[in-house]
Chain A
Amino acid sequence: KNEVEQSPQNLTAQEGEFITINCSYSVGISALHWLQQHPGGGIVSLFMLSSGKKKHGRLIATINIQEKHSSLHITASHPRDSAVYICAGSQKLVFGQGTRLTINP
Chain B
Amino acid sequence: DADVTQTPRNRITKTGKRIMLECSQTKGHDRMYWYRQDPGLGLRLIYYSFDVKDINKGEISDGYSVSRQAQAKFSLSLESAIPNQTALYFCATSGGQGADYGYTFGSGTRLTVV
**A interface list, Cβ under 8 A from B:** 31, 33, 35, 41-45, 48, 86, 88, 91-98
Chain B residues with a Cβ under 8 A of chain A? 33, 35, 40-45, 48, 58, 88, 90, 92, 94, 99, 101-105, 107-108, 110
Q: Which residues of A contact B99 (CB under 8 A)?
A: 48
Does B90 contact A92, Cβ atoms closer than 8 Å?
no
Q: Let me know if B105 and A43 touch, CB within 8 A.
A: yes
- Given the known A-B contacts A86-B42, A95-B42, A95-B44, are A41 and B108 also in contact in the complex, defined by CB atoms under 8 Å? yes
Chain B positions within 8 Å of A42 at CB level = 105, 107-108
CB <8 Å contact, A41 and B102: no
Give every chain B residue within 8 A of A41 (Cβ-Cβ).
88, 107-108, 110
Q: Which of A33, A35, A43, A98 has the most CB of B within 10 A?
A: A43
- A-B pairs with beta carbons under 8 Å apart, 11 shown: A35-B105, A42-B107, A43-B92, A45-B102, A86-B43, A93-B33, A93-B43, A95-B43, A97-B40, A97-B41, A97-B42
